[in-house]
Amino acid sequence: MRELQRYLQELIDRVVYLQDIKGENWEGSVYLLEDLKQLKEKFFQIPEKECHHLLESYETRLKILEDRAARELTPYEIVKITRNPQRFTLLDILENVYDSYTELGGEGDINVDPAVICARAMISRRVGDKIYLHQVIVIGHEKGHGEEFRNGGSAKPWGNEKALRYMRVAETEGIPIHFYIFTPGAYPIEDYPGAAQQIARNLYFMSKLRVPTVAFISEGGSGGAEAIGLADIRLMASRGYYSVISPEGAAAIEGKVKEGERPPRELVEFCARQLKITAEDNLRLGTIDRIVPEPPLGARRNDYQFFKRLRYEMIRATDEVILRTKSLKAFRSYALRRKKEEENPPEDFDIHVRWDLSEVEIEKLLDLRSKKYRQMSRHVLGLTKCSFRNYVEKTQDVGLRLYHDFRYGVLKQSQKIIQRVMEDLSGEGAAFLRQLTEPLKTAYDLLSTRPKRPKARVLPVEEGLVDLPELYVSPLALEDRTVTCPNADTRGCPDIWVPDLYGEFCGVCPNCGYHFPLEYQWYLSNIFDAKSIKEFNENIASGNPLGFKGYDKKLALAKKKTGRNSAIITFQARIGGISLIVAMLIADFRQGTVGVAEGEKFIQACDRARITKRPFLAFVHTTGGIRIHEGTLGVIQMPRCTMAVREYIDAGGLYLVVYDNNSYAGPVASFLGCSPYQFAIRSTRIGFAGPRVIRETTGEDIPPDYHSAENALRRGHIQGIWDRRELRKKLYEALLTMGGKNLYYK
């Protein structure tokens, strides 16, 4: 009888789960639930045999409903499956997939951040009669089954910092890392270390993490997912979602919904469809490598068959990462065998692969990771060229690299070495001679009546920065009227005459120093040496790779308005004679949002700076984040660009970031936030999420100056605040005093 009772409860749970996904009134499921509840009430009045029959018939009814539900699943229903409290979480995985584990840096609610779990775990494989144990570090989000303190798997900045700390441990010990992504998004607060800045740091570190990494995505919410998502192989649960923004968030933006109001269900469904968030979509787009199959309506915490499969997939994926670094032949045969096993994974493994790598293999691993991310999402740009042109361009690239390596590498380095040796020799000689001549010199100075020799004077450094012949004046200055400074109430600023403000004052309030926004052309003309700008890659154009309905029109409008193909301008220019590469995100084109085209242009600019040994400046006129219309293809630009930046900085370059106006979300949480030299122009606002998102997510109000540059500086997110009028001078000083050794002028 007890078994029957359990059977009944299980059926009730299944109906409730079905209703959670498809809605309460879906296809008469409500009647089935009523029948089951009635049976529960008079359970002990019915004979056992009859009860069994009844339950079986209910299960048949339920099975039919479940099959139908699985066939007609919409993307938004998949989101609901992923968010369901009955779904498996990381702790379930640690219990069922791994043989043993020890949680690090916290236990339950006594934790730095209960939303992030780090653990040292053992996973075993059987080969024949032998059992082999592998050690791994597991890092992931824990949603908890309704536990409030887990915060729904939304990692706070210090949670991501904890993840980074244990990545370092894994690197020191040389053991692989398994990442598990179960997050609706990062918790959007700026408290130190800062949501955006910490994700950027994690990405920067993971791009060259010297151990094999495998990520498994169940709920991949944008930036929060990327914080632990840059892995060698990315697996995804078949009923998981991976998206740039939650469907509700996208609907609120698309439908211009007021704060506090809920977007209509149809619009949320529409956005979920358009954003291409399912596992199949992501596999097709190339943002993940493989799908881990789940039961048709998603795996729940007691689906042991699924855990078995997941264990197999994690071991196989780690094996793959390791074998790729060893020998191509060995890997190929292994991969082929694996393909056959996909339908029915075996219990045993036919080989044992040791999960440690030699130095050479680590280099190969990093190289493969770099290539993998650099290739991601490029296919949508249609950059394939005819083989002859490709050949010519490749030859040009090699030529350019050889020239710069020879000119600023071999020649400059040998020149530097000789210079250093000469300096050492002359210093040594002078010190030796001084010992001999010093007594004589002192005696001579004492006896001599002549005044002492004057002290050595510091020679003034030759100033390389000359003023620009003529200042560009913004067309905003052509109006004959006055404007009010936003700080007039608190600082008593008088009204400013527009021709003065946008002309002589460069858009700065003469009383309080508030910086009024200026168009990007002002910076192009007033920062760089006259006629020194040479733009490149202007043909790489933003597109609509997901076929997002209604977006083509908006994109065409932006192109027409700006006369540009994307929100980023990449060019070579000079400041005080020093040549540099610049990537500039502009507000006029879709609020400086980053998509595939912008990411590709940024990477190419970064590579050009690396090859030609030029400093690299990212000037952010404004960025609104990742372009939601490009879905995960946009999100993937975060690791891609960070990878390029890491390689550039490691090569000894100088990566400067200057923020202006508003800079938020994805780019700040990746390739901008990872720079060691970030500066902001006064009156800039920098952050991860805007005030509205913070209010809606955390339920708390934020002060009006929460995202101000001053507060960003106070929190240590940026290194300084610059005045717009001194930007050219400040940049010149930074070029001379900062950066690595591999710059052509050093």
- Residues near another protein (CB under 8 A) are 479-484, 495, 497, 701, 703-704
- Euclidean distance between CA atoms 37 and 8, whole angstroms: 9
- In the complex with another protein, the residue whose CB is nearer, 47 or 703, is 703
**Cβ at position 315, least distance to another protein in Å:** 53
**Cβ at position 478, least distance to another protein in Å:** 13
**Cβ at position 500, least distance to another protein in Å:** 12
724-746 residues labelled b (16+ CB within 10 A) or e (exposed): bbebbbbbbebbeeebbebbbbb
- In the complex with another protein, the residue whose CB is nearer, 264 or 494, is 494
- Euclidean distance between CA atoms 22 and 16, whole angstroms: 10
- In the complex with another protein, the residue whose CB is nearer, 438 or 504, is 504
**Cβ at position 253, least distance to another protein in Å:** 23
Residue 145 is given by DSSP the state S
**Cβ at position 550, least distance to another protein in Å:** 34
- In the complex with another protein, the residue whose CB is nearer, 124 or 482, is 482
Helix (H, G, I), strand (E, B) or coil at 510: coil
Token readout for 112 is 């730095």
Token readout for 521 is 């052309």
**Cβ at position 249, least distance to another protein in Å:** 24
**Cβ at position 477, least distance to another protein in Å:** 14
Phi, psi of 728, deg, nearest 5: -60, -45
Q: Which of 184, 196, 187, 214 is nearest to 277 (CA)?
A: 184
- In the complex with another protein, the residue whose CB is nearer, 261 or 480, is 480
- Euclidean distance between CA atoms 717 and 706, whole angstroms: 13
- In the complex with another protein, the residue whose CB is nearer, 342 or 500, is 500
- In the complex with another protein, the residue whose CB is nearer, 109 or 495, is 495
Which single residue is written with the structure tokens 């999402």?
377
Token readout for 698 is 């955390």
For 439-483, give the DSSP string. HHHHHHHHH--SPPPPPPPPPPPPP-----SS----GGGG---EE
- In the complex with another protein, the residue whose CB is nearer, 428 or 495, is 495
**Cβ at position 488, least distance to another protein in Å:** 9
564-588 residues labelled b (16+ CB within 10 A) or e (exposed): bbbbbbbbbbebbebbbbbbbbbbb
Task: Give 52's contacts (C-beta < 8 A, 6+ positions apart).
Answer: 4
Strands 616-620 and 116-127 come out as unpaired
Q: Which of 79, 224, 247, 198 is nearest to 628 (CA)?
A: 247
- In the complex with another protein, the residue whose CB is nearer, 475 or 547, is 475
Number of other CB atoms surrounding residue 467 within 10 Å: 8
Phi, psi of 449, deg, nearest 5: -90, -10
- In the complex with another protein, the residue whose CB is nearer, 451 or 703, is 703
- In the complex with another protein, the residue whose CB is nearer, 71 or 481, is 481
- In the complex with another protein, the residue whose CB is nearer, 261 or 700, is 700
- Euclidean distance between CA atoms 530 and 20, whole angstroms: 64
Q: Helix, strand, coil % (nearest 5) of the chain?
A: 50, 15, 35
**Cβ at position 158, least distance to another protein in Å:** 25
**Cβ at position 480, least distance to another protein in Å:** 7
- Cis-peptide, bond into residue 193, ω within 30° of zero: yes
- Euclidean distance between CA atoms 686 and 155, whole angstroms: 20
Task: State how far the alpha carbon of 169 is from the alpha carbons of 121, 354, 512, in Å.
Answer: 13, 19, 48
**Cβ at position 485, least distance to another protein in Å:** 11
**Cβ at position 490, least distance to another protein in Å:** 11
Helix (H, G, I), strand (E, B) or coil at 359: helix
Angle of helix 29-41 versus helix 48-71 axis, rounded to 10 = 160
**Cβ at position 148, least distance to another protein in Å:** 25
- In the complex with another protein, the residue whose CB is nearer, 50 or 700, is 700
**Cβ at position 483, least distance to another protein in Å:** 6
Phi, psi of 321, deg, nearest 5: -60, -40
- In the complex with another protein, the residue whose CB is nearer, 48 or 701, is 701
